[in-house]
A = this chain, B = another copy of it.
Amino acid sequence: MKRSHQCGALTHAHIGETVTLNGWVQTRRDLGGVLFIDLRDRSGIVQIVFNPAYSGDALQIADRVRSEYVLEVTGTVVKRDAETINANLPTGEIEVRITEIEVLNAAKTPPFFIEDGVEVDESLRLKYRYLDLRRPEMHQTLKLRSKAAKVFRDFLDGEDFIEVETPILTKSSPEGARDYLVPSRVHEGEFFALPQSPQLYKQLLMVGGVERYYQIARCFRDEDLRADRQPEFTQVDIETSFMQQDDLLPMMEQLMVKLFRETVGVELETPFQRITHADAMDKYGSDKPDLRFGLELIHVNDIVASSGVKVFASVIEKGGEVKVLNAKGCGTWSRKDIDDLGPYAARYGAKGLAWIQVKEGEFKGPIVKFFTPEEIEALRERTGAEEGDLLLFSADNKKVVADVLGALRLKIGRQLGLIDDNVYKFAWVVDFPLLGYDEEQKRYVAEHHPFTRPKDEDLAVLDTDPGQVRAQAYDIVLNGYEVGGGSMRIYKRDVQEKMFNALGLSPEVANEKFGYLLDAFEYGTPPHGGIAFGFDRLVMLLAGRTNLRETIAFPKTANATDLLMDAPSEVDQGQLEQLHIRLAPKPVAPKA
């Protein structure tokens, strides 16, 4: 016997054929001595039948099987009786009358049902991931991921990109997140680092004349984990020479068109909207705006600066701002509903949340009395406030106002049903600032990374007014998620040195850490730039999931643990000795 068909592939076209199937027992039912088993393989489910009339010894053997037993069976495909046809199953018109069976392996009762939509604690699913993966929805996601990778590759191969593998054992780099380190056995006291991205290698490939490079690359960041972060993640890494931003972005749009067409059958419209970083922050309070709906944030500084609302005036005096979100139709909310927004806003840094309802043609609420009728009228006009609207005010520094109203916008948009889950709304966010000032470190840090090219017209002020310099950098956002980002890169030594200087790196440190790159720039480096797509997140969105772990075969938990293999784990002392390291002594707990 040798497998002839996949379970899920059998249809009425196979009626009369003798088939051999492999698979797992999904369910079994004994109806008066006739045994019905739903046999599952990765293609789907088919009903197989054991009947004393034709199954002989196979019935006795089948009688002992239980859920998740692994079988090999041979039998004949027959049409089901009309009344037993199952229209919900692709194979529902037929069943297979079994004459031979072999039990390939037995199974204990699994810790959870192998079926979709089952409510199981995630840590149990991760510990028994090999069972969890048998669920059809997990299998579909793995398959989607594989297909998505293929579409990326097919597109990029077609555009003459060369796939190049770059090292995993590489050098620790001071800018960016924490590195994972790997002690060297051969070089005592030295360490490799796992790459946070192949950034420098791909730039060196451009210096090396590769011109068009890609890699579906594993990257590593030892960060404090959030729901949407993993210690290791996958990015589709792309770099090109001699292309400008305006050449690259449309090509990447075509890549997304192909991806969505061939994985989920969705036709994207191009060109994608482009929005400057300044506009995105201004209108949506986010550098990854969800553009499936409006609800834009509205400036009202000029209107409220001299009003009687003292906190507004004082915030504006200190250089902050006051903005309004017009929550259309929420003016009918109860006081409690409105008050409930307060703690939510506070999570994003709001110290309070002022509001005005429009009821019976009038502005109502605790702060209304502090406005003059002219100010009320100006607010009405600016915000387009109509009967039944709710105006939400945030007054603080720019960042807090953006965070608070950006979050409220998403919450209220969701609540008002403004967000269509079937719409994929892509956009490019462009003209990012090159640098951001880090209050903690008291220095500028790179918004993207230190290799991002400044806009030509802003280069002149890189030394004198670094905060004003815009970058030739772009993010690609989808429905409120950043799914990729990139930039044109610096390719001249003097510009790179200026950039390191702006970041507070002394020439000595810059040379020690990135000397090879500065050197490379002197040997004929072409203008180059690229992008990286967050592959896990794209697959998550394609699969309609909200958790990255659902898209990864063997993910780690939020505290970076592999529950299946129990990693990380302790190792032998001998291994540490070979690596020339010791464990630091554990701190002694202070006595009570």
Residues of A at the B interface (CB closer than 8 Å) are 2-3, 22, 24-25, 40-42, 68-70, 72, 104-108, 110, 128-134, 138-139, 142-143, 145-146, 149-150, 153, 157, 162-172, 178-194, 200-201, 204-205, 207-211, 218, 220, 222, 231-232, 234, 241-242, 247, 491-492, 516, 520-527, 552-554, 556, 559-562, 564-571, 575-584, 586
Contact = CB atoms under 8 A, between A and B. Distances in A.
Contacts of A241: 22
B165 A218 contact: yes
A560 B164 CA distance: 20
A399 to B, nearest CB: 28
A548 B566 CA distance: 35
A24 B167 contact: no
Contact of A553 (B132, B165, B522, B579): B165
A9 to B, nearest CB: 11
Contact of A568 (B68, B184, B234): B184
Given A143-B162, A516-B566, A232 B582 contact: no
Max chain B Cβ within 10 angstroms of own Cβ: one of A70, A72, A521, A570: A70
Given A179-B575, A182-B180, A24 B561 contact: no
Contacts of A567: 169-172, 192-193
A69 B523 CA distance: 8
25 contacts: A42-B211, A70-B524, A70-B525, A72-B242, A106-B524, A128-B523, A130-B204, A133-B210, A134-B208, A150-B163, A168-B218, A168-B220, A169-B180, A171-B568, A171-B569, A178-B578, A181-B182, A182-B194, A186-B560, A187-B561, A189-B570, A191-B568, A191-B570, A200-B565, A581-B583
A412 B265 CA distance: 61
Nearest to A225: B186
Contacts of A190: 568-570
Contact of A231 (B69, B169, B520, B578): B169
Contact of A581 (B523, B553, B581): B581
Contacts of A40: 209
B582 A105 contact: no
Given A204-B564, A560-B186, A525 B105 contact: yes
A167 B232 contact: yes
Nearest to A515: B566
How many identical subunits does the complex contain? 2
Contacts of A581: 183, 581-584
A523 B106 CA distance: 7
A125 to B, nearest CB: 12
A582 B579 contact: no
Given A130-B204, A182-B182, 13 more contacts: A24-B526, A68-B523, A70-B527, A129-B204, A130-B520, A131-B523, A166-B554, A171-B568, A186-B561, A191-B571, A192-B568, A204-B554, A582-B583
A513 to B, nearest CB: 9
A186 to B, nearest CB: 5
A553 B167 CA distance: 9
A440 B339 CA distance: 75
A206 B204 CA distance: 39
A466 to B, nearest CB: 24
B218 A560 contact: no
A571 B181 contact: yes
B584 A577 contact: yes
B524 A210 contact: no
Given A210-B42, A523-B110, A578-B178, A586 B167 contact: no
Contact of A104 (B106, B527, B553): B527
A323 to B, nearest CB: 39
Contacts of A525: 70, 105
A585 to B, nearest CB: 9
Max chain B Cβ within 10 angstroms of own Cβ: one of A128, A142, A146, A586: A146
A247 B556 CA distance: 35
Contacts of A491: 105
B130 A170 contact: no
